[in-house]
Amino acid sequence: MIKKVLAARLHELGKPLQIDQVDVAAAGPGEVTIDLAFAGVNPMDRYVATGLVGAGNRLPRTIGGEGSGYLDGKPVLVNGEGLGVTRDGTFASAVTCPREAVIEAGEGTDLRELAAMGVAGLTAWNVVTQSAQVTERDRVLVLGAGGGVGIPIVSVASSTGAKVWGQVGTPAKAAAVTGVGASNVLVCDAAGLAEAATSLEPTVVIDALGGQFTGAALSVMAAGGRLVSYGASAGAEVSINLPRFYRSGQRIVGYGGGRLSTEQRRAGLVQALAALADGRLRVRVDRVLPLSEVNQAFALLVARSVSGKLLLDVRS
């Protein structure tokens, strides 16, 4: 029997997604069909919808790169393996995907939190524990700390015993950042960052913003410090004082989740889910919208009016 579901479909690059009734592909060799409950909404999904990523792939296509739901009655996370980019994704109430895209979670796992783990949770875990290698001796400055990835980054860094400060653009996001372990929150723009962060003299900067923020952060980062860049939402072009940078022995490390192999992604997710279960990693779901409001969800991302993770209830 063919399963029919509602899905948010990309028909034309740069145009709003459409809600269509579609057939769920039958599972082939090495594939499974997941009954989805929630899907995470990420900047990457917007890049796909506008053609910045995967522009040459088939249309129409259901987009969405992560979600949570059930396989054989057990809670699972779904992420990766081309979901939403080279094949139909998670902005639907069911998806057929490679078995490698599925990670089983413990009974009782909150499906909303689980839907945020494929991108935000995995990025936070890898950036803090692998790229930055944060320890209890560090002083950490998290730029863009009020975002869907920034909040879990603050939580993981704080769990190490490090001193953690977060930077946000508006006061409304400050409470969410202190709520997951930051000892101080800087409400400032790039022009005010250096003055606000001078007293911290961070040994680690975790940067989701780029643009003028990167140079300002490097100007106050301690000698021998390391900056981990995983985003450029404030601008792709960066200007730094190069002599100060090399004379201070500072390092810049890039993190891109899209470069992870299947084995690396799955190993990181297993560790991140364990950290979620024991409280070392925390996610904050800002709001859950029905599938029919997927285009409004994109507008919220553009306006940066979300403090935490934005989800779609793909069953509604």
pLDDT tens sequence across 257-267: 989 999 999 99
Q: Specify the CATH number for 4-116+284-313; select among 3.40.50.2300, 3.90.180.10, 3.40.50.620, 3.90.1490.10.
A: 3.90.180.10
Per-residue pLDDT at 16: 97
Per-residue pLDDT at 99: 97
Tell me the C-alpha to C-alpha distance, in Å, between residue 293 and each of 160, 275, 300. Answer: 38, 31, 11
Split at pLDDT 50, 70, 90, the class of 304 is confident
Per-residue pLDDT at 54: 87
- Contacts of residue 43, Cβ cutoff 8 Å, sequence gap at least 6: 231, 233, 301
| pLDDT tens sequence across 189-210 | 999 999 999 999 999 999 999 9
- Contacts of residue 283, Cβ cutoff 8 Å, sequence gap at least 6: 113, 116, 117, 120, 121, 148, 151, 152, 276, 308, 309
- Contacts of residue 56, Cβ cutoff 8 Å, sequence gap at least 6: none
Split at pLDDT 50, 70, 90, the class of 1 is low
Nearest-angstrom CA–CA distance, 165 and 185: 6
- Contacts of residue 307, Cβ cutoff 8 Å, sequence gap at least 6: 146, 147, 151, 172, 173, 176, 284, 286
Burial class (CB in 10 A: 0-12, 13-18, 19+), 89: buried
Q: Where in the chain is the domain with CATH 3.40.50.720?
A: 119-257
The domain covering 119-257 belongs, at the CATH homologous superfamily level, to NAD(P)-binding Rossmann-like Domain (3.40.50.720)
| pLDDT tens sequence across 163-190 | 999 999 999 999 999 999 999 999 999 9
The pLDDT of 235-251, averaged and rounded, is: 96
Per-residue pLDDT at 178: 97
Per-residue pLDDT at 199: 97
Which long-range CB contacts under 8 A does 294-297 form with residues at least 24 apart?
294/8, 294/17, 294/19, 294/41, 294/91, 295/16, 295/17, 297/41
pLDDT over 90 (residue 158): yes
Q: Where in the chain is the domain with CATH 3.90.180.10?
A: 4-116+284-313
Per-residue pLDDT at 108: 87
